[in-house]
Amino acid sequence: MANTILVGAQWGDEGKGKIIDVLTEQADLVVRTQGGNNAGHTVHIKGQKYILHLVPSGILRKNKVCVIGNGVVVDPVSLVQEIEGLRKLGIRIDRNLVLSETAHLVFPYHRELDAQRETFKGKNKIGTTKRGIGPAYGDKAARTGLRVLDLINPERFKQQLELKIKENNEILKAFGAQPLSFKQVHAEYRAAGDYLKPFVANTVILLHQAVRRGDGILFEGAQGTFLDIDHGTYPFVTSSNTTAGGACTGSGVPPHRMDRVVGVMKAYTTRVGEGPLPTENAEIADMLHAMGREFGATTGRPRRCGWFDSIATRHASMVNGIDELAVTNVDGLDSVETIKVCIGYRDGAKRYDYVPNDIEALSRCVPIYAEFPGWRTPTHNARKWKDLPAKTRSYLKALAELSDAKLAIASVGPGREQTIII
C-alpha cells in the first residue's frame, strides 16, 4: 500500500476508525501521530464494537504492527487499561504494539488542570474531553514535560515526578483544588511503566526501517481539521496538529515518503464541545439522536449536528492536500426529504467562500445552502457503487466536487462490510 495519511476533514468523529480498519487490510503498519486518549475511534466487526483511544485501530487485524508515535501524548495508566480491555475481548497485543520512547506523558495534574481551567472559563469553556491534553502539550511546548523514556527509568522518574507534583500542587491549590499525593501517583505510574516497558522502542528508527523495506504505512489521524491547533477554529480546538503535517512531525517519517492523503468526512456535520458550527441544525440533530446515533465515543456527550459544510471540507482539502475522500454515515440521511449543503457563508453584506479565521466573524456566519433531493431508501445493504440510489450517487459526487477531492469510499453502516470502494 502507498504510505497513506488519513485525516478527519471536519470536527472529529468522522468515522476515521472504521475507515482505518478497512484500509489496514492493505497496510503493514498503522501509526498514531498526535492527540491522546481524547480520541475515540469506533470499529464494528462481526457485531462486536471496539472503541480505541490510544491504541491504533489497526490492532484489530492480524499481523499488523501498530505504533504510538512520538507526537502522541500518552496517559500510561489509561493505556494499560485499554490494552487489558482489548485483550479481554480476545485481541492479541504483544509485539504488534510499539510505543515511542519520546512520546510525552499525561499526568493526573494535567487532567485536574484541564478541568479547573474549564470551570474557570465558565461560559467561554472549550468543552474539552478533560483528559489533560491541553496541559500535557503545554508542558511539552514549555520543555517541562516527562516522556516515556523517563517513565521507564525508575530513579530519574522519581526525582522528576516529585518536582512536578510539588510545582503543580501549588497551581492546584491556587484554583482551590485538592493537591495530589506524590506517593500515590508515583506508585500508579511506576506500575504502568513496568507494564509498558516491553512495548517501548525508538519508533523513528523502526519506521525508517519499514520505509526502507517498502512496507505500507497508514497514519491514523485523530480529531479533525477544524480542531487543529493552527488551522482549526481557535481557541475551540485541541492542542495538536490534526492536519496532514502532524503525521510527519509526530512520527519522524518525512513528507517525501508520504504518497497519499485520505480525508474522512460524514455525509453531514457533527461537532462535540463548544465553538462555531455554521450549519448546526436542531432538526437533523434530533433525527440522528432519536436513531441512537451521534453520542461521543470518549465522553458519551450528544454531538451537535448540522448539514454538510462544503466550505469547511474544501478548506480541509486545501490544508491537508486531500487526494481521496471517504464519506461515511451516508445511511444517516436515508429518511431526509430535502438535503441541504452549505456552499457559502454570509456575514451581513459580506459573503465568504472560505472559512474566516476570526472566530467572531465565523460565529456570525449564516450558511448559504444548495438543496438536494433525498433518496428516501435504505442504503445500509449497498455494497457496490451501482447498488446506491441514483440520488445518493449524485449527492456524493456533488460533495466530492464541492470539496475538491476524488471520491474513493462511501460508507453505509458501521460494519466493516458496509463499505463501498469506488
Q: Residues in the site for Mg ion, rule: CB under 5 A?
A: 13, 40, 297
Q: Is 68 in the site for ligand IMO (CB under 6 A)?
A: no
> And the C-alpha cell for 293?
446515533
Q: Is 222 in the site for ligand IMO (CB under 6 A)?
A: yes
Residue 127: which of ligand IMO, Mg ion, ligand GDP, none does it interact with, CB under 5 to 8 A by kind? ligand IMO
Binding window for ligand GDP (CB under 6 A); candidates: 199-207, 309-317, 324-332, 358-366:
324-332
Contact 47, 9 (CB under 8 A): no
> Smallest gap, in angstroms, from Cβ of residue 41 to Mg ion?
6
- Residue 41 a catalytic site member: yes
Q: Is 289 in the site for ligand GDP (CB under 6 A)?
A: no
What angle is formed at CA 122 by the lines to CA 119 and CA 123, rounded to 5 degrees?
Answer: 145
Contact 263, 302 (CB under 8 A): no
Contact 35, 249 (CB under 8 A): no
> Smallest gap, in angstroms, from Cβ of residue 252 to ligand IMO?
21
What angle is formed at CA 320 by the lines to CA 254 and CA 63, rounded to 5 degrees?
Answer: 60
Q: Is 40 in the site for ligand IMO (CB under 6 A)?
A: yes
Q: Is 131 in the site for ligand IMO (CB under 6 A)?
A: yes
Long-range contacts: 165-169, Cβ < 8 Å, 24+?
Answer: 165/109, 168/107, 168/109, 168/113, 169/109
DSSP string of 359-386, one letter each residue: HHHHHH-EEEEEEEE---S--TT--SGG
Catalytic residue among 21, 41, 104, 228: 41
Subset of 22-61 contacting ligand GDP (CB under 6 A): 40-42, 44
Total residues belonging to the chain: 422
Binding mask 76-115 toward ligand IMO (x if CB under 6 A, else -) reads ----------------------------------------
> Smallest gap, in angstroms, from Cβ of residue 259 to ligand GDP?
22
> Smallest gap, in angstroms, from Cβ of residue 276 to Mg ion?
20
3-state SS record for 84-132: HHHHHCCCCCCCCEEEECCCEECCHHHHHHHHHHHHHHHHHCCCCCCCC
> Smallest gap, in angstroms, from Cβ of residue 320 to ligand GDP?
15
Is cis: bond before 278, omega within 30 of 0? no
Residue 269 host element (H or E): strand 269-271
Q: Is 297 in the site for ligand GDP (CB under 6 A)?
A: yes
> Smallest gap, in angstroms, from Cβ of residue 85 to ligand GDP?
16
Q: Is 15 in the site for ligand GDP (CB under 6 A)?
A: yes
Q: Is 8 in the site for ligand GDP (CB under 6 A)?
A: yes
Q: Which is nearer to Mg ion, 297 or 327 (CB)?
A: 297
Question: Left (φ > 0), alpha (ψ -120 to 50) or beta: where does 313 sit?
Answer: alpha
Distance CA 363, CA 355 (A): 11
Sign of the alpha-carbon torsion through 208, 210, 213, 218 = negative
- Residue 315 a catalytic site member: no
Q: Is 363 in the site for ligand GDP (CB under 6 A)?
A: no
**Number of residues forming the site for ligand GDP (CB under 6 A):** 21
Q: Which is nearer to ligand IMO, 136 or 420 (CB)?
A: 136
> Smallest gap, in angstroms, from Cβ of residue 114 to ligand IMO?
7
Which residues, 6 or more positions from 308, have their beta carbon under 8 angstroms from its beta carbon?
265, 266, 267, 268, 269, 279, 339, 340, 341, 342, 399
What angle is formed at CA 180 by the lines to CA 107 and CA 135, rounded to 5 degrees?
Answer: 35
Q: Is 250 in the site for ligand IMO (CB under 6 A)?
A: no
Q: Which is nearer to Mg ion, 298 or 379 (CB)?
A: 298
Compute how many other C-beta atoms are within 10 angstroms of the C-beta atom of residue 359.
14
Active site residues: 13, 41
Binding site for ligand IMO (CB under 6 A): 8, 12-13, 38-41, 126-129, 131, 133-134, 222-224, 227, 238-239, 272-273, 297
Binding site for ligand GDP (CB under 6 A): 8, 12-18, 40-42, 44, 297, 328-331, 411-414
